[in-house]
Amino acid sequence: AYVVAEPCIKCKYTDCVEVCPVNCFYEGANFLVIHPDECIDCGACEPVCPTKAIFPESELPKEWAEYKTLNADFSTKWPNIAEKKSSLPEAEEFKDAKGKRGMLDA
Ligand code: SF4
Ligand code: F3S
């Protein structure tokens, strides 16, 4: 499955949602996750994310390994999101910021 990693935090552009053929994205307050059992590995979401937050599990950077579990866990708790919406107001400011893990609203 594909995994949403740290760059999405405080941005949530949702371009990924618009291209996913199986609607397997789930939405938290300032982060999105992919349900690993629903993702069909089509790869459509990876190139459209403005923050480059999405990776195939096999290419997930080691520093963000934890996000595999975070996606699996939160996708069972958060509501599904099937339509693109506006990005967060602070998205541009935080797009290239590092160390956003502590800012994740869970
Ligand atoms: Fe959806 Fe395809 Fe991305 Fe999986 S890889 S989340 S199926 S767009
Ligand atoms: Fe997040 Fe990128 Fe989607 S910022 S909401 S993973 S387009």
- What are the structural domains, with CATH classification, of the chain? 2-82 (3.30.70.20)
State pLDDT tens for residues 9-60: 999 999 999 999 999 999 999 999 999 999 999 999 999 999 999 999 999 9
Ligand 2 within 6 A of CB of 3: no
Q: Closest Cα partner for 103 from 2, 1, 3, 12? A: 12
The interface pTM score, or ipTM, of the predicted complex is 0.98
Which residue is listed with tokens 């195939």?
A: 56
- Residue closest to 19 by CA, chosen among 39, 100, 90: 39
**Residue 18 tokens, joined:** 């618009």
pTM value is 0.98
CA–CA separation, 61 vs 98, rounded Å? 14
Q: Which of 13, 46, 83 to mutate to test the pocket of ligand 2 (most atoms within 8 A of CB)?
A: 13
